Amino acid sequence: MAASVEYNRQVSAHPWPTNAQPKAAFDLFSSSSAGNGGRRRSGADSDSDDEDGIPPDWRSLYSPRLDVEPSVKDPRDEATSDAWVKRHPALVRLTGKHPFNSEPPLPRLMSHGFITPVPLHYVRNHGAVPRADWSTWTVEVTGLVKRPVKLTMEELVTGFQAVEFPVTLVCAGNRRKEQNMVRQSSGFNWGPGAISTTVWRGVRLRDVLRRCGVMGAGVASNVCFEGAEDLPGGGGCKYGTSLRRSVAMDPARDVILAYMQNGEPLAPDHGFPVRVIVPGFIGGRMVKWLKRIVVACNESESYYHYRDNRVLPSHVDAELANAEAWWYKPECMINELNINSVITTPGHDEVLPINALTTQKPYTMKGYAYSGGGRKVTRVEVTLDGGETWQVCELEHPERPTKYGKYWCWCFWSVDVEVLDLLGAKEMAVRAWDEALNTQPERLIWNLMGMMNNCWFRVKINVCRPHKGEIGLVFDHPTQPGNQSGGWMARQKHIETSETTQGTLKRSTSTPFMSAASAQFTMSEVIQAVLRDQPDDTTEMHLVYANRTEDDMLLREEIDRWAAAHPARLKVWYVVSKVARPGDAWEYGVGRVDEQVLREHLPLGGDGETLALVCGPPAMLECTVRPGLEKMGYDLDKDCLVF
């Protein structure tokens, strides 16, 4: 079974003269223009097989939701060379006015499902969009071929068998803003929306090269592509790059010269009238506005082939990259996409109210995942405890694999989590695996170009009060694309060191503590500071220490030793979610910290002399601890310090 559809029919030329969109949808392969009565059939290299009953129309296969508002001429483009290009107003601009680089808002992208409407497809331009004329446009095939040729668009469409299948395009800079929050790279702020999936129609590159008599692999090692735009890089050049001949000629790779997208001619921003599509590769290898194909023994000599789309070691900055010629090291070149996944639900700043209704049913997390080289995403997992435990997600693969078993598109994942588990969590994270058992690293790996960022995608969970008297959880994505504010990484970049609480302890005669593993070192410092004080100090400390199991309680030996040495000044009660070793005697609490635990093991407040120092997961503090302390007489503004 496969996802592509092939055609072999004589097709009339486009009825539009330039790269302006036609007023109405036009099917290049309508039966009225075909010489074979409209019958679709498979060729020798077909990825489709009509005998298997695969519907020939991708609309019936994928049921796309493509309705969007019309694109318009943007006033921001008026003073640029792109003033004539129509663009969708929802796209988030990433590089100011010009050149145009943009991504769709993540919620909007996901709302359309598997197939992305072309107006919402992300855009990566290096310069002005070339004006093109279908009737005069040619693609030159030259170099190490026996029969060089300049193909018109009509010859390209009518002279070769056409194929059509969905492909996910991803910019190598997807999620770059996360890297820029750690250290500024040389690139602009892509969010997680530099990804889109559309249905591409075109002709196989290998068919074109074979028609031209491509020379043997021992001589012709590379296939170079050159676009039409005039760019400043390297003192002035065209955008160009290359593929290894083995990739270009491999029937399993499905490399095509595409001239239609989602059943329409290519939009100006996406390469009208023809572009290269290399499934499973980064978008930077898919040259738009294609003008020349050169078969050669060496790679492309374009400035952009060497000075773009590289992952250099983390220690290499711009000066070192130039001094040591890192740009020209082949091992740093990016071709295939890496494994990646993103959380899309909950969305950024989404609020989940906590009430009797929401806590009775699970919350569904969702997102997308993809890999490169046609490798299938085989597993996606989420964690609510920093990677200690993982929950396996349900996967949805809308595409069918090619006859070579390749997967060229993103997939979607979902998983139900208990709201009470969210209440006890500080963050959620996701990672994906592919069929080669590639997975995502836990930590971000910075590189000069800010490319191929695929660390765990983390969403922070904070407590809020959406309405008076109501508690809610608000979800915080790492960044927002472009120059938009928001995201926990942006805030973290500007966090200042918190004030020490040591100077506030003198007014307390009894100090209750709440602690979680993330704050145990602050807790221990406070305990030691009080115990080291003057000999006549009678400050009492009541510690309630909660964690998952007794094995997770770091510093427990030290705490027990301090309590044994100062039994009148330090009283300790442990609470675990479950006992790790049931055979051992456990004389402390099991379950959750609640008001009863607080009343049994902490002194009452309200005497003006008792201070509560509280640390732990925000949801637990806001939903359990602070309300419980308030009922016990603590003034939460004066007698409760959260750190």
Same domain, 473 and 524: no
pLDDT of 585 higher than 80: yes
A 10 A CB-CB count for 503 gives 8
In a domain, 592, yes or no: yes
Question: 520-531 vs 556-565: helix axis angle to the nearest 10?
Answer: 20
309 is catalytic: yes
In a domain, 515, yes or no: yes
From 171, 409, 411, 615, active-site residue: 171
Q: What is the pLDDT of residues 337-363, one digit of tens each?
A: 999 999 999 999 999 999 888 889 999
In a domain, 403, yes or no: yes
Q: Quick one: pLDDT band at residue 643, thresholds 50, 70, 90?
A: low
Mean pLDDT of the chain: 86
Q: What is the pLDDT of residues 511-567, one digit of tens each?
A: 444 433 334 445 666 777 677 655 667 788 899 988 878 877 777 877 888 888 888
Q: What is the pLDDT of residues 459-491, one digit of tens each?
A: 999 988 777 667 899 999 999 999 898 999 988
In a domain, 170, yes or no: no
Q: What is the pLDDT of residues 15-62, one digit of tens each?
A: 334 444 433 334 454 433 333 333 333 333 444 443 343 446 899 889
Q: What is the pLDDT of residue 375?
A: 98
Q: What is the pLDDT of residue 525?
A: 62
Helices of type H across 324-387: none
Which position has the token pair 């890297």? 179
Same domain, 351 and 387: yes
**Chain-centroid distance, C-alpha 214:** 39
Give 610's contacts (C-beta < 8 A, 6+ positions apart). 508, 509, 510, 511, 512, 603, 604, 634, 639
Find the angle CA(602)-CA(608)-CA(613) to the nearest 5 degrees.
45
308 is catalytic: yes
Q: What is the pLDDT of residues 360-405, one digit of tens each?
A: 999 999 999 999 999 999 999 999 999 999 999 999 999 999 999 9
C-alpha to C-alpha distance for 480 and 493, rounded to whole angstroms: 14
C-alpha to C-alpha distance for 249 and 204, rounded to whole angstroms: 9
171 is catalytic: yes
C-alpha to C-alpha distance for 202 and 204, rounded to whole angstroms: 7
In the structure encoding, which two tokens stand for residue 4, read together? 């592509």
Same domain, 418 and 533: no
Same domain, 396 and 444: yes
Q: Which domain holds residue 470?
A: 340-493
Q: What is the pLDDT of residue 444?
A: 97
What three-state secondary structure class fits 568? Answer: coil
pLDDT of 183 higher than 80: yes
Same domain, 449 and 523: no
> How many CA atoms are closer than 13 Å to the CA of 18, on its beta-carbon side?
5
Please state, for a pLDDT cut of 70, what percent of the chain lies above it. Answer: 84
The answer to whether 427 and 487 have CB atoms below 8 angstroms apart is: no
C-alpha to C-alpha distance for 196 and 166, rounded to whole angstroms: 10
Can you give the pTM of this predicted structure? Answer: 0.74
Q: What is the pLDDT of residue 471?
A: 87
What three-state secondary structure class fits 230? Answer: coil
**Greatest distance between any 2 Cα atoms in the chain:** 103
3-state SS record for 476-494: ECCCCCCCCCCCHHHHHHC
From 308, 434, 476, 639, active-site residue: 308
In the structure encoding, which two tokens stand for residue 450, read together? 């800010």
List the one residue out of 351, 358, 402, 346 whose CA is nearest residue 376.
Answer: 402
Most confident of the ranges 67-81, 90-104, 164-178: 164-178
Q: What is the pLDDT of residues 90-137, one digit of tens each?
A: 999 998 778 999 999 999 999 999 999 999 999 999 999 999 999 999
Among 129-138, 201-210, 309-318, 463-472, the minimum mean pLDDT is found in 463-472
Q: What is the pLDDT of residue 523?
A: 64
Q: What is the pLDDT of residue 25?
A: 38
3-state SS record for 88-107: CCCCEECCCCCCCEEECCHH
C-alpha to C-alpha distance for 149 and 159, rounded to whole angstroms: 13
Q: What is the pLDDT of residue 138?
A: 98
Q: Pick the last residue of a domain from 458, 493, 528.
A: 493
From 309, 338, 453, 547, active-site residue: 309
Sign of the dihedral defined by the CA atoms of residues 599, 603, 609, 615, in that order: negative
Phi-psi region of 143 (alpha: psi -120 to 50; beta: other; left: phi over 0): left
In a domain, 598, yes or no: yes
The answer to whether 624 and 632 have CB atoms below 8 angstroms apart is: no
Provide the number of structural domains found in the chain.
Answer: 2
DSSP 270: G
Helices of type H across 281-428: 303-306, 318-323, 419-423
Q: What is the pLDDT of residue 551?
A: 74
Residue of higher predicted confidence among 232 and 373: 373
In a domain, 6, yes or no: no
Q: What is the pLDDT of residue 243?
A: 98
Q: What is the pLDDT of residue 507?
A: 38
